[in-house]
């Protein structure tokens, strides 16, 4: 009885939440950006949400920059970060054709080539720019696109995120299920998106690299899965062309992962991620405590 009651409550909470977000998404983009500007003022000046974390991360990553430059990056990061949320909300109702005009995909033919050769493609990405805009990818290609994710603790919020991210055909697959799924579907090549710059709970010395002047551990799963399944691996380089407009470039890492040495793919990923961050230092997720341990 109690389980049924909880499920019913979660369902109605989800419906109310989704309806509210969808209604807000119908507002003009200019109004949503205005809301984002107000949120920036509160988060940056009043609350200071993880501001010290961002300052410390940027200062350690760019020791050559002086005080003023660091704070300028921090401020622009918060400005962009709240704008990303406004764009995500708008994406709940905006037509795919409208979003298509705001995102330029470069070198997608590289992925087509790998897929046609019968090989899975693992796309390693970082928390650069508005990475949520990649949800449009299935609208651009003729093959399946999966996003590997870790379920959120709140079932309601998790259901909302799954709904929002799968609107254009993105298929979400849990991190704990992705290995079995890929190895069981080798004959059906697809594109798999991995956000690979988060901090792992388990430290593996073979996957410790220097990122932005700091010793950093990386998840081993992305590379191990690529090597086991002999997938092709690419990096998605995300940059902001203008407010609300982005470019996503497909950069090759390795065409046959099984032929690589341990750590080789991750090392290349770290190099490409570093280039991406240095190109637009304000675009990375600096409030994440990557170096907390």
Given a cut of 70, whether residue 148 has pLDDT beyond it is: yes
CA distance 76 to 283: 8
Cβ atoms 131, 238 nearer than 8 A: yes
**Cβ-Cβ contacts under 8 Å for 103 (sequence gap 6 or more):** 133, 136, 245, 246, 247, 248
Tell me, what's the pLDDT at 10?
A: 82
- Name the pairing type of β-strands 191-195 and 121-125: parallel
Of 169, 201, 193, give the one whose Cα is nearest residue 293. 201
The dihedrals phi and psi of 242, each to the nearest 5 degrees, come to: -160, 175
Kind of pairing, strands 232-242 and 214-217?
A: unpaired
Tens-digit pLDDT profile for residues 15-61? 999 999 999 999 999 999 999 999 999 999 999 999 999 999 999 99
Q: In the predicted model, what is the mean pLDDT of residues 159-188? A: 92
pLDDT of residue 261 exceeding 90, the answer is yes
SS3 of 261, please? coil
What the block records as the tokens of 151 is 């379920």
The residues with which 251 forms a beta bridge, in sequence order, are 235
How much is the pLDDT for 94?
94
Distance (Å, whole) CA 44 – CA 42: 6
62-74 tens-digit pLDDT: 999 999 999 999 9
Q: What share of the chain is helix, strand, coil (3-state, %, to 5)?
A: 55, 20, 30
Taking only the tens place, the pLDDT of each residue in 97-132 is: 999 999 999 999 999 999 999 999 999 999 999 999
Burial class (CB in 10 A: 0-12, 13-18, 19+), 8: exposed
């Amino acid at each position: 009885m109690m389980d049924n009651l909880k499920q019913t409550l979660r369902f109605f909470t989800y419906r109310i939440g989704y309806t509210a977000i969808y209604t807000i998404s119908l507002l003009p983009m200019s109004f949503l950006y205005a809301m984002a500007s107000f949120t920036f003022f509160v988060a940056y000046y009043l609350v200071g949400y993880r501001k010290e974390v961002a300052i410390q991360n940027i200062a350690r990553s760019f020791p050559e920059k002086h005080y003023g430059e660091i704070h300028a990056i921090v401020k622009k990061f918060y400005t962009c970060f709240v704008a990303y949320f406004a764009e995500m909300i708008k994406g709940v109702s905006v037509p795919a054709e409208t979003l298509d005009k705001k995102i330029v995909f470069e070198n997608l033919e590289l992925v087509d080539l790998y897929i046609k050769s019968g090989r899975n493609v693992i796309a390693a990405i970082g928390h650069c720019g508005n990475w949520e805009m990649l949800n449009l990818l299935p609208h651009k290609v003729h093959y399946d696109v999966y996003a590997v994710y870790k379920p959120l603790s709140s079932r309601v919020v998790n259901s909302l995120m799954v709904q929002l991210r799968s609107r254009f055909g993105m298929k979400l697959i849990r991190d704990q299920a992705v290995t079995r799924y890929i190895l069981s579907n080798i004959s059906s090549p697809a594109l798999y998106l991995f956000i690979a710059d988060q901090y792992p709970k388990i430290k593996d010395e073979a996957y410790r690299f220097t990122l932005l002047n700091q010793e950093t551990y990386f998840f081993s799963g992305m590379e191990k899965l690529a090597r086991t399944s002999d997938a092709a691996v690419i990096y998605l380089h995300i940059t902001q062309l203008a407010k609300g407009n982005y470019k996503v470039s497909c950069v090759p890492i390795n065409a046959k992962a099984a032929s690589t040495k341990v750590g080789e793919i991750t090392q290349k990923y770290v190099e490409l991620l570093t280039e991406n961050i240095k190109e637009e230092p304000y675009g990375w997720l600096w409030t994440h405590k990557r170096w907390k341990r």
